[in-house]
Amino acid sequence: MRLVRDDDTAPLAPNVDSSDLSLPPLALPPHPLPPAAIPVLEHLGDLQDQIQGLHAELNMLRRRDETLRFFMHRLDEELRLAARIQQDFLPKILPQVGRVHFHTLFRPAGYVSGDLYDVMRLDERHVGFFICDAVGHGMPAALLTMFIKRALVTKEVFESGYRLLGPGEALNRLNQALVDQNLSQATYATAMYGIVNTETHEVRFAKGGHPSPALLYGDGRLEFPDATGALLGIFPDEQFAVTTLQLAPGDRLFVYSDGIEVAFCGEDLNNCQQWQDELHRRRELGTEALLLDLSAELDRQAGSLQPKDDLTVIALEIK
């Protein structure tokens, strides 16, 4: 540090760049300094090296912050792109055949989802519907759903015609495809596959570790028909029982992932029945309006911006 009196010919303080935190020369009065001031000024001079060191650390932190912002931005862009790709795998148009109509609700917990669904026209008289929920959520679960979608076989085509695979056989093959991958991590999924006859309104479904569908009759009764089957990707040669339902006009079948149970349980994770009350309370609404109102109810909940799990619902309606 340079001490300068105001009667010196040298300038009191040179032009200092704002980014330079070094101390400028001090202008001293023409009279001698009090003895007590000299140690203070000397201490300020000793602090100059520390200030310059802090300035260097600040610049390093700024550069690190810029690098983190760059990588976070790139990660955000990649996740957004992955979300668009996953959306492309979802059906663009849901089959509506005769009295059989489909509606869906899809709410990922993040950019991408561990849930996946599909509704496909199998032939002139049959429509298949499929839902799966890979363990966890986020990118690992989303990647597994992509494999599951490609591995699901619903029809065998021959030169002389074709054969539709029953729901139990389709899940058996899907389960075996997952087991054969011999994945390094404990990776598994729940799934349900069903077929509806658009003329007779008969529904046959099989499920592996998946929640039972909700059958809302036209008269307001609510039932949960079940079928047996283990989680997909664990046990080879697993068999999946098939359940048959006969629907009538006004009946609606809701197939869903367990995210809807978690979404309506509040803080009590053991209360997985609340969503059933929410569904039954809206039984007088049309199917599309019912799903929209359920979604709006979730938006009104505390913590709706940070959902606990992915949520998917397929509604099969007999008009």
Tell me which of 55, 89, 123 is where a domain ends. Answer: 89
Residue 275 domain-assigned (yes or no): yes
The answer to whether position 179 is within a domain reads yes
- Identify whether residues 76 and 110 lie together within a single domain: no
Query: What is the CB neighbour count within 10 angstroms for residue 15?
Result: 6
In the chain, the N- to C-terminal Cα span, in Å, equals 89
Supply the DSSP string of 95-124, one letter for each residue. --BTTEEEEEEEE-SSSS-SEEEEEEE-SS
**117-292-253-269 Cα dihedral, nearest 10 degrees:** 80
Q: Do the domain assignments include residue 19?
A: no
Number of folded domains in the chain?
A: 2
Residue 200 belongs to a domain: yes
Give the pLDDT of residue 266: 67
Q: What domain range includes position 166?
A: 92-318
Q: Are residues 78 and 168 in the same domain?
A: no
Q: What residues contact 162, with CB distance under 8 A and at least 6 apart?
A: 123, 155, 156
Alpha-carbon distance 296 to 301, whole Å?
9
- Locate 128 and state its tokens: 């298949």
User: How would you classify residue 278: left for phi > 0, otherwise alpha for psi between -120 and 50, otherwise beta?
Assistant: alpha
Other Cβ atoms closer than 10 A to 40: 11
Task: Name which of 134, 171, 174 is nearest 259 in CA terms.
Answer: 134
The helix/strand/coil state of 130 is strand
Residues 84 and 99 in one domain: no
Query: What predicted TM-score, i.e. pTM, was given to this entire model?
Result: 0.78
Q: Specify if 24 maps to a domain.
A: no
Residue of 255, 299, 245 whose CA lies nearest to 279: 255
What pLDDT was estimated at residue 303?
60
Same domain, yes or no, for 251 and 199?
yes
Instruction: Kindly state whether residues 236 and 273 are assigned to the same domain.
Output: yes
Domain annotation covers residue 16: no
Sequence-distant (6+) residues with CB within 8 A of 210 are 131, 132, 133, 190, 191, 192, 257
Residues 130 and 242 both lie in one domain = yes
**Read out DSSP for 142-168?**
HHHHHHHHHH---EEEETTEEEEPPHH
User: Considering 42, 74, 89, which residue would you say is the last residue of a domain?
Assistant: 89
User: Given this model, what pLDDT does residue 135 score?
Assistant: 86
pLDDT of residue 104: 97
Same-domain status, 57 and 206:
no
Reading the chain (319 residues) residue by residue, the pLDDT tens digits are: 444 444 444 444 445 454 454 555 555 556 666 777 667 666 676 677 788 888 888 888 888 888 888 888 888 888 888 888 888 889 999 999 999 999 999 999 888 999 999 999 999 999 999 999 998 778 888 989 999 999 999 999 999 999 999 999 999 999 999 999 887 676 789 999 999 999 999 999 999 999 999 999 999 999 999 999 999 999 999 999 999 999 999 999 999 999 998 888 866 666 678 899 999 999 999 999 999 999 999 988 866 567 778 999 999 999 9
CA distance 26 to 6: 10
Euclidean distance between CA atoms 304 and 319, whole angstroms: 32
Last residue of a domain, one of 42, 59, 89: 89
**Does 177 share its domain with 206?**
yes
Q: How far apart are CA 195 and CA 111, in angstroms?
A: 30
Residue 15 pLDDT: 52
CA distance 51 to 128: 71
Q: Indicate whether 67 and 104 sit together in one domain.
A: no
Reported in sequence order, the residue ranges of 122-275 that DSSP labels E, i.e. its strands, are 126-134, 155-158, 161-164, 189-197, 202-208, 214-216, 222-223, 243-246, 252-256
- Residue 23 included in any domain: no
Fill in the DSSP letter of residue 213: P
Is-contact 29 6, C-beta < 8 A? Answer: yes
> Is 165 in the same domain as 54?
no
Q: Output the pLDDT for position 28.
A: 53
Residue 21 lies in a domain: no
Answer yes or no: do 101 and 219 share one domain.
Answer: yes
CATH for 118: 3.60.40.10
Same domain, 196 and 209: yes
CA distance 78 to 74: 6
Q: How many degrees, rounded to 5, is the angle at CA 261 between CA 167 and CA 106?
A: 65
